[in-house]
Amino acid sequence: MKILHMPNGSKENPYQKILKEFLEKEGLEINIENGDGFFKILKAFKKFKPCILHFHWIHVYTVSLLKKNIILSFIKGIIFLLQIFYLKLFKKIKIVYTVHNLLNHERIHFLWEFIINFIAIRFFDDYIVHCEEAKALFIKKYKISKNKISKIHVIPHGNYINYYPNNISKFEARKKLGLGKNDFVFLHLGFIRKYKGIEKIIDAFKDLEIENKKLLIVGKILDIKEEKKIKEKIKNLNGVYFFPYFVKEEDMQIFYNASDVVVFSFKDILTSGSVICAMGFKKPLILPYLGCLKEIPKINFFYNFSNKAELKKCMEEAYKNRKILEEIGFKNYMWVSKFDWEKIAKETKRVYKR
């Protein structure tokens, strides 16, 4: 069975790469492709001739994210629909869609994107979501009919426990970063984008009255404006370490193992690979009560994403409970270890064969 996964997001996120590896162990032929030109999907279809087309993100084909041009977004959206219509009506191809996001994170031309999505997903055959909350939100957002609900399959996001190296001690990690033994270290690691709410983390950190506080902000910049804002905010703020670059896979452990707790401040989220990754490194979490994050063990520190005071309170609570943070991190590790890729590949294969 030949499957085409689109688009290719595996260069900086190992999710598709790992899924491909385990699906191939199940005897499937998997190709991952972005496509070229305006008719990217049809060109990829012609190149690989798959029996199933599996979309992971469709905003890549419907919205002009980089140029933020509404006319270009309109053209892209129409071309996307034409390709879907052609593949369904003339090629009778099965289309599977993993709903990682309800809309693009930056909310660029989101109304137009919603209209295109609303039409397109009615031509898809099966849907994969990573949790029950995501399923409910997807049904509500796109008014999924009752006869289609049975085609929505809950398959967890796989963990990264065996993917990233993890053999450096906390002492060694802190030494590499110039951190002290008694420092209390908050970490935010992941792409730096507006929807991540990093400024809110900085504001909360600034107001914290705890000893030896440190904040690591680590990740590749996708928006120069965000980088400028962050640098301006931390200019005269002690204890903040800013690493605005893509972290090599072998260096992820340095930042995770140097930290006491990992903090997230998403303005909007459905599923987060960054959260799954942090749990695999046995880290306790501070996070907003949103999307699939709601299903994470309640031993972590949750807050209302729209309430700055609650974020600060959670950071204070993490410090007060510092003696049990390792225990929380271990429980997170045990919870996320259930989501092994072999099982996920088998469940995904069953969706393909429906």
Residue whose entry in the numeric block shows the structure tokens 């030494």 = 175
Q: What is the DSSP-derived secondary structure letter of residue 192?
A: B
- What is residue 222's predicted lDDT score, i.e. its pLDDT? 77
Beta strands in 90-129 (DSSP E): 94-98, 126-129
Q: How many CA atoms lie within 13 A of 137 on its CB side?
A: 22
- What is residue 139's predicted lDDT score, i.e. its pLDDT? 98
> 2-158+339-353 maps to which CATH number?
3.40.50.2000
- CATH 3.40.50.2000 spans which residues of the chain? 2-158+339-353, 170-336
Q: Stretch 198-212: mean pLDDT, rounded?
A: 94
Could you give the CA distance from residue 139 to residue 252 in angstroms, rounded to a whole number?
Answer: 36
* C-alpha distances out from residue 353 to 2, 55, 96, 129, 284, Å: 12, 16, 11, 17, 38
Classify 76 as helix, strand or coil: helix
Q: What percent of the chain has pLDDT over 70?
A: 100
Residue 283 has pLDDT above 90, yes or no: yes
Strand 126-129 versus strand 152-154 pairing type: parallel
Strand 29-32 versus strand 213-218 pairing type: unpaired
Quick one: pLDDT band at residue 227, thresholds 50, 70, 90? confident
Q: What is the DSSP-derived secondary structure letter of residue 268?
A: S
Residue 277 has pLDDT above 90, yes or no: yes
Under CATH, what is the fold of the domain 170-336?
Answer: Rossmann fold (3.40.50)
- What is residue 76's predicted lDDT score, i.e. its pLDDT? 95
Classify 244 as helix, strand or coil: coil
pLDDT by residue (tens digit) across 34-48? 988 889 999 999 999
Q: Stretch 205-227: mean pLDDT, rounded?
A: 91
Could you give the CA distance from residue 169 to residue 314 in angstroms, rounded to a whole number?
Answer: 26
- What is residue 221's predicted lDDT score, i.e. its pLDDT? 87
Residues contacting 298, CB < 8 A, separation 6+ = none
Could you give the CA distance from residue 94 to residue 89 in angstroms, rounded to a whole number?
Answer: 11
Q: What secondary structure, in 3-state letters, does 270-332 show? A: CCCHHHHHHHHCCCCEEEECCHHHHHCCCCCEEECCCCHHHHHHHHHHHHHCHHHHHHHHHHH
Residue 216 has pLDDT above 80, yes or no: yes
Burial profile 71-106: b = 16 or more Cβ within 10 angstroms, e = fewer: eebbebbebbbebbeebbeeeebbbbbbbbbbbbbb
